[in-house]
Structure 1
Amino acid sequence: MLLPEPPRINLKGTPREIGLHHGHALSSQIKAQIAIYTEMFAYTSKLSWPSVLSLAEEFRVSIQKLTPDIYTEMEGIAEGAGVNILDIVALNCRSEIALGKFSDGCTSISWKKSGDERVLAQNWDWTAHVKRNLALMAIEQAQKPTIYMVTEAGIVGKIGFNTAGVGTCLNAIRAHPTDSSKLPVHVALRLCLESSSVKDAVKTLESLGGVASSQHILISDSKTSLGMEVSPLGNVYLKENEAGIITHTNHFIENKYVDEPPWLSGSPIRLERIRQLSSELVKEGFKGDKIVPSLLREKVFSDTYNAPQAICCQEDPSRHQSVRSSTLFNIIMNLAPENSSAEIVWGQPGSGKEGPVLKMPWT
């Protein structure tokens, strides 16, 4: 049975125009996301949706103040979808409002192919309920790079790259505290994807006061990769190892600014596993043009060691259905000057049930 392909949405114009088109095109998916997260917040955090919206109001004020164009876009999404602005803010702040009680998985890697070319890739693990509400999105804005990303309906920034060759991956971290005066991580991801370089992205986030929750953003351009272990209390930036590689899962490796109790037992095992698998490829002589998406899907991202909490994550039937994670897609980006692209596999790579290889850009 072939998996249905995600919608491809082309957005262009002013922030309001982009938001309206997003909201109209994905109205039913946005409303479905609100229903899914209503159940998830009730189960994980004992929060009703009205309580979630009350917390979202604190972030709404900060988003409007710090990133007025992105806030205007959110207003357009809300109007286009026929929902309240706080519904859209809540979706974009869902990681912060949950106080780390959601259990996103995800395993990511960046790999230097040459002096001016890098591969950036990850499996994205989350509850299967949201899969039907994901979309491939292109965003064209005046005087900014065009963005290509995979995102949840209603969310303004996530995993992808831009025409300046900047790409982002995300690994969720569970740690206190959060700070509603700072940038929600999905807004931070959008700012990264509007940047012309890794250096520019770091400067932008720091100038706006940093990120509201603990997260790992793996960011690359064609010449640089950084593992940004961000938190409201301080950031730590991980650099490439001697093989030109950065790997990450769902716990902080070096950031000691926040209190991060052990919460996802498979995360250290996945980290050790992706380091082992990538090291083996290096020893076998894979470098430069040999580092292709099919190789990484076959040798790294289809790996099921320590299932269900594997790199290719399987559903754990012992967990509540609202937080039962599995790998929903794999994305492998090739970041090169003026010629960046990505391959996406919908479903679990190597399972025999995944969909076809999808391309970004798609035109």
Structure 2
Amino acid sequence: MTFPTFTSSQTDPRARGKELGTHLREQVTANLTGYTDLFTVAGATAGQVRAWGERALEASAAWAPPLAEEIAGIAAGAGLDPWQVAVVNARTEILAGIDMVGHGECSTSVVLPKDGPPRTVQTWDWHDHLRDAPVLWEYEQASGRVVRTFTEAGTLAKIGVTSAGLGVHFNILRHDSDSADLGVPVHLIARRILDEASTVEEATEIARSARVSASTVITVVTESQAASIEISPAGVAAIPPGPDGVLLHCNHFLDPDLAAGERHATERPGTYRRMRHLEEHVEGLSVADVNGRALAMLSHEPDGAPVCAHPDLSQPINQRWETVATIGLDLPAGRLRVHQGGPCQVTEATWQTC
């Protein structure tokens, strides 16, 4: 099984968005429906969701006008209003506004070896009713930079890699300062980093320039650098690798100042168990083969850390979690290696290259 792919032929933001929205109309609409259902179960009203989408669109237009144009283009192609596509891009912010916290979420490993390219892998956990949300999207900018991203149809970026030799991983965080005063969607921060940054320092400056209302961590990797950029309304911190070149992140803040406002781990401490699992399997996470790195992530609940998640179908949709994808970055090639599903389903033949 593989995720759908799309390659844009347009470089103008609105035209590129319209082309994608037209081609992926059903998937974008299905994602909007899936998120609307999730927000409803979590307690949001239709009026709240629309207002949040409109605020997110305003914040996006003020911070990155071309990205707001691209959202408008996707909406035109998919037969939706721009605020509806903004809702899909701002789902992290809306979930923070609803104050929803869940068991699942992602685990990321980056190893910078003394020789050879970075070795990365992450699991991407999400609600099982949205397992068909992802798409692998390739687009080229007017500058000639090519970006390839694992994202959700209609969302401008998530995990990705560029022909400029920079890649990003993506994990959600929660902080006491998160609020319903919608700011710039964190997925748009990832998009601007992929579009514009060539170094960890440039990526960090992009993150610092956005007023956000929700928290996340974007782990940025280049040939010789890496940092987990923790983002929250309370501030931004860049966490470097250790002296051994290892950088691990789950769903709790590592920066001491930001950790004082930790929300996710105080309610869902499984993130600490997942981090311990990664720490105990650094040797496997350091191998050159992405399949081997994925297998080093393998751990189920209740046997150990829930790095590889499977949904409990007795729970409501806002409390059901599944490892939808396992992803590694191939920086020298500017490519993503993607497996549909969790580490327990990985084989040499299940990897999709984008």
The question of a shared fold, defined as TM-score above 0.5 by the shorter chain, is answered with yes
2:267 matches 1:267: no
2:165 matches 1:169: no
Once residues 214 and 320 of structure 1 are traced to their aligned partners in structure 2, the CA distance between those partners, rounded to angstroms, is 24
**Partner in structure 2 of residue 329 of structure 1:** 325
66, 85, 88: which one pairs with 2:85? 88
Residue 281 of structure 1: how far off its partner (Å): 4.0
Residue 141 of structure 1: how far off its partner (Å): 1.1
2:209 matches 1:215: no
**Partner in structure 2 of residue 293 of structure 1:** 290
**Partner in structure 2 of residue 107 of structure 1:** 107
Question: Amino acid of the residue matched to residue 156 of structure 1?
Answer: L
Residue 308 of structure 1: how far off its partner (Å): 8.5
SS in 2 for 1:98: helix
Work out whether residues 178 and 215 of structure 2, in 8 Å CA contact, stay in contact via their aligned partners in 1. yes
Once residues 293 and 214 of structure 2 are traced to their aligned partners in structure 1, the CA distance between those partners, rounded to angstroms, is 30
Aligned CA distance change for structure 1 residues 178 and 315 (closer, same or farther; 3 Å):
same
Work out whether residues 168 and 219 of structure 1, in 8 Å CA contact, stay in contact via their aligned partners in 2. yes
**Partner in structure 2 of residue 229 of structure 1:** 230
Q: Decide which moves more: 324-333 or 137-146.
A: 137-146
Residue 245 of structure 1: how far off its partner (Å): 0.8
Question: Amino acid of the residue matched to residue 312 of structure 2?
Answer: D
Residue 309 of structure 1: how far off its partner (Å): 5.7
Q: Deviations over 1:273-292 (max 9, x none)?
A: 111111x448xxx6xxx422
Work out whether residues 174 and 263 of structure 1, in 8 Å CA contact, stay in contact via their aligned partners in 2. no
2:346 matches 1:347: no
**Partner in structure 2 of residue 31 of structure 1:** 29
SS in 2 for 1:196: coil
SS in 1 for 2:20: helix
**Partner in structure 1 of residue 46 of structure 2:** 49
272, 278, 281: which one pairs with 1:277? 281
Once residues 197 and 254 of structure 1 are traced to their aligned partners in structure 2, the CA distance between those partners, rounded to angstroms, is 20
Question: Amino acid of the residue matched to residue 30 of structure 1?
Answer: V
Aligned CA distance change for structure 1 residues 226 and 185 (closer, same or farther; 3 Å):
same
Q: Decide which moves more: 319-328 or 218-227.
A: 319-328
Once residues 319 and 118 of structure 2 are traced to their aligned partners in structure 1, the CA distance between those partners, rounded to angstroms, is 33
Q: How does 1:47-196 map to 2 (within 5 A)?
A: 47-99=44-96, 100-103=99-102, 105-114=105-114, 117-143=117-143, 145-178=145-178, 180=181, 182-194=183-195, 195-196=197-198
Residue 307 of structure 1: how far off its partner (Å): 5.5
Once residues 316 and 349 of structure 2 are traced to their aligned partners in structure 1, the CA distance between those partners, rounded to angstroms, is 26
SS in 1 for 2:6: strand
Question: Amino acid of the residue matched to residue 196 of structure 1?
Answer: S
Aligned CA distance change for structure 1 residues 237 and 29 (closer, same or farther; 3 Å):
same
Work out whether residues 207 and 231 of structure 2, in 8 Å CA contact, stay in contact via their aligned partners in 1. no
Once residues 223 and 91 of structure 2 are traced to their aligned partners in structure 1, the CA distance between those partners, rounded to angstroms, is 31
Residue 22 of structure 1: how far off its partner (Å): 1.2
Identity of aligned residues (%): 23
Residue 102 of structure 1: how far off its partner (Å): 4.8
Residue 344 of structure 1: how far off its partner (Å): 0.9
Once residues 256 and 68 of structure 2 are traced to their aligned partners in structure 1, the CA distance between those partners, rounded to angstroms, is 30
**Partner in structure 2 of residue 315 of structure 1:** 311
Once residues 320 and 359 of structure 1 are traced to their aligned partners in structure 2, the CA distance between those partners, rounded to angstroms, is 34
- Which blocks of at least 5 consecutive residues in structure 1 are unaligned? none
Work out whether residues 130 and 152 of structure 1, in 8 Å CA contact, stay in contact via their aligned partners in 2. no
Once residues 70 and 173 of structure 1 are traced to their aligned partners in structure 2, the CA distance between those partners, rounded to angstroms, is 23
- Which blocks of at least 5 consecutive residues in structure 2 are unaligned? none
- The TM-score normalised by the length of structure 1 is 0.88
Aligned length: 345
Aligned CA distance change for structure 1 residues 250 and 65 (closer, same or farther; 3 Å):
same
- Give the CA RMSD over aligned residues: 2.2
Residue 170 of structure 1: how far off its partner (Å): 1.1
Aligned CA distance change for structure 1 residues 322 and 355 (closer, same or farther; 3 Å):
farther
